[in-house]
């Protein structure tokens, strides 16, 4: 029992840290992108300054200047931005271990997709994470990233192909988390392995009284642009594990493909606007079309259900029987499933009254999607889902 309670609290504390660190990191990164785009040149500025910006915040005015590459002398004090990013990754990875690796049988594996042991799934997840990052890094270092449009399209197709593969190896929820973790890792590694080391080299050159290599600044900027466009998709993919209709429906990988395209398009709107150029309003048309497409795709139901295969309209007794045999071992006042000590999320499904009260929730997680049972661990059949869908759909009418 203690193991289960400790893991619940570890998950809360890590999630709290992860979200706060990510707000700090992404907040400052959005801020600097905005600042960079809004800098204006001015004849009175010191040598080596690209531009300046005036801002007002918290009751005071700020005048900010940006030196291209670096000032001629090392300033006495310098604020670095790196621990926000590192903490985001460290807490995120720890959270992934607690939720997805230590409970891989529930959240990473789905035996109806591929019959993996928890250890195999964990190993697959970790090694594909490392490999995908490595491929990205190699592509950047061999100069591929300099062809911006080609790299953007190639990178997009790479992520969609990975998503397709993951949804055929891991549970839908595990696959969504996996692609999000890969994108997040690429983003943090850009800070850790490129942006910060380059800044350190620039500082070292300044201290030695040499002019820093402008290439260092240029490569960092390139990675920072990648991060900028990856931010919106990674955030929605990270919270997608609370939305069964996204990750546990038939076309889940196409939904990710749309999200991966929509995020950068929406970001483009703000980048153009902050740069003082004409706002590309068409972006919202594309965003609306994409969102509507996701809505319809998510309504396609779970993978293995054949609708219209039922001979008669199901009764409540049919529903009760299915829920009792597939759900109540966990969702009961005293669960009998090993490792589950209290009814998950406080949801009881152990008698006619509680089942009736939770019909809508049951529909969302077990009829319109196959999020529950987690990893289909109690082997619910497509027919049973169709029975739930038919009964709950009729009730809603
Ligand atoms: C092996 C144990 C287990 C079985 C069997 C199981 N669940 Fe769950 N259920 C869980 C766990 C664990 C969670 C919490 C998931 C999380 O942390 O996101 C959960 C969460 C839920 C939620 C809340 C989802 C939310 O959005 O917060 C609902 C509703 C639910 N289950 C319904 C069902 C139904 C219906 C069935 C049967 C078809 C079922 N569960 C079978 C373990 C189980």
C-alpha radius of gyration, the chain, whole number: 25
Q: Kindly state if the Cβ of 373 falls inside 6 Å of ligand 1.
A: yes
Distance 374 CA to ligand 1 centre (A): 6
Burial of 203 (0-12, 13-18, 19+ CB in 10 A): middle
Is residue 396 very low, low, confident or very high in pLDDT (cuts 50, 70, 90)? confident
Largest CA distance in the chain: 84
Angle 6-8-13 from CA coordinates, rounded to 5° = 90
CB atoms within 10 A of CB 296: 9
Q: Is the four-CA dihedral 199, 200, 205, 207 of positive or negative sign?
A: positive
pLDDT of 42: 87
Residue 309: the pLDDT is 65
**327 CB near ligand 1 (under 6 Å):** yes
* Ligand 1 atom closest to Cα of residue 378: 5
Confidence class for position 307, pLDDT limits 50, 70, 90 = low
Mean per-residue pLDDT, 115-124: 96
Cα-to-centroid distance, 41 and ligand 1 (Å): 57
254 CA → ligand 1 middle, Å: 25
Q: What is the pLDDT of residues 28-86, one digit of tens each?
A: 999 999 999 999 998 888 888 989 999 999 999 999 999 887 887 888 899 999 999 99
Q: How far, CA to CA in Å, does 304 sit from each of 250, 255, 370, 385?
A: 8, 18, 9, 9
Q: Are 113 and 163 in contact (CB under 8 A)?
A: no
Q: Using CB atoms within 10 A of its CB, is residue 385 exposed (0-12), middle (13-18) or buried (19+)?
A: buried
Q: How far apart are CA 258 and CA 254, in angstroms?
A: 6
Per-residue pLDDT tens for 96-106?
A: 999 999 999 99
Ligand 1 lined by 319 (C-beta under 6 Å): no
Any atom of ligand 1 within 6 Å of the Cβ of 348: no
**pLDDT for 141 beyond 80:** yes
Quick check: 289 pLDDT over 70? yes
Q: How confident is the model at residue 5 (pLDDT cuts 50, 70, 90)?
A: confident
User: Is the Cβ atom of 397 under 6 angstroms away from ligand 1?
Assistant: no
Instruction: Average the pLDDT over each of 140-144, 191-195, 228-232, 322-326 and give the range with the smallest value.
Output: 140-144
Q: What are 329-356's pLDDT values in tens digits?
A: 999 999 998 888 889 999 999 999 999 9
Which of 48-52, 59-63, 187-191, 246-250 shows the lowest per-residue confidence on average (mean pLDDT)?
48-52
């Amino acid at each position: 029992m203690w193991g289960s309670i400790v893991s619940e609290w570890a998950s809360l504390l890590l999630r709290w840290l992860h979200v706060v660190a990510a707000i700090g990191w992404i907040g400052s990164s959005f801020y600097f992108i905005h600042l960079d785009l809004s800098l204006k040149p001015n004849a009175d500025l010191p040598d080596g300054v690209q531009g300046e910006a005036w801002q007002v915040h918290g009751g005071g005015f700020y005048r900010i200047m940006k030196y291209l590459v670096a000032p001629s002398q090392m300033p006495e004090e310098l604020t670095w931005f790196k621990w926000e990013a590192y903490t985001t990754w460290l807490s995120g990875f720890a959270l992934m271990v607690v939720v997805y690796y230590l409970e891989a049988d529930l959240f990473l594996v789905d035996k109806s997709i591929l019959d993996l042991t928890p250890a195999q799934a964990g190993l697959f997840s970790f090694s594909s994470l490392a490999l995908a990052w490595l491929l990205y890094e190699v592509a950047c270092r061999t100069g591929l990233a300099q062809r911006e449009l080609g790299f953007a399209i190639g990178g997009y197709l790479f992520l969609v192909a990975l998503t397709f593969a993951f949804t055929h190896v891991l549970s839908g929820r595990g696959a969504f988390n996996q692609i999000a973790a890969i994108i997040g890792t690429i983003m943090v590694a850009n800070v850790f392995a490129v942006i910060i080391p380059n800044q350190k080299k620039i500082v070292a050159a300044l201290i030695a009284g040499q002019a820093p290599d402008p290439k260092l600044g240029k490569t960092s900027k390139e990675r920072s642009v990648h991060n900028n466009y990856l931010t919106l998709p990674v955030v929605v993919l990270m919270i997608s594990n609370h939305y069964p209709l996204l990750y546990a429906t038939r076309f889940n990988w196409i939904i990710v493909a749309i999200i991966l395209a929509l995020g950068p398009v929406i970001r483009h709107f703000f980048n153009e606007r902050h740069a003082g150029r004409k706002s590309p309003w068409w972006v919202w048309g594309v965003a609306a079309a994409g969102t509507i497409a996701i809505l319809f795709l998510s309504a396609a139901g779970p993978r293995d259900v054949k609708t219209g295969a039922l001979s008669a309209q199901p009764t409540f007794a049919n529903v009760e029987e299915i829920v009792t045999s597939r759900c109540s071992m966990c969702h009961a006042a005293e669960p009998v499933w090993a490792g589950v000590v209290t009814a998950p999320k406080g949801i009881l499904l152990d008698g006619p009254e509680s089942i009736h009260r939770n019909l809508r929730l049951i529909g969302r997680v077990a009829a319109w999607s196959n999020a529950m049972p987690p990893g289909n661990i109690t082997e619910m059949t497509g027919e049973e889902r169709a029975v739930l869908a038919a009964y709950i759909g009729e009730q809603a009418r």
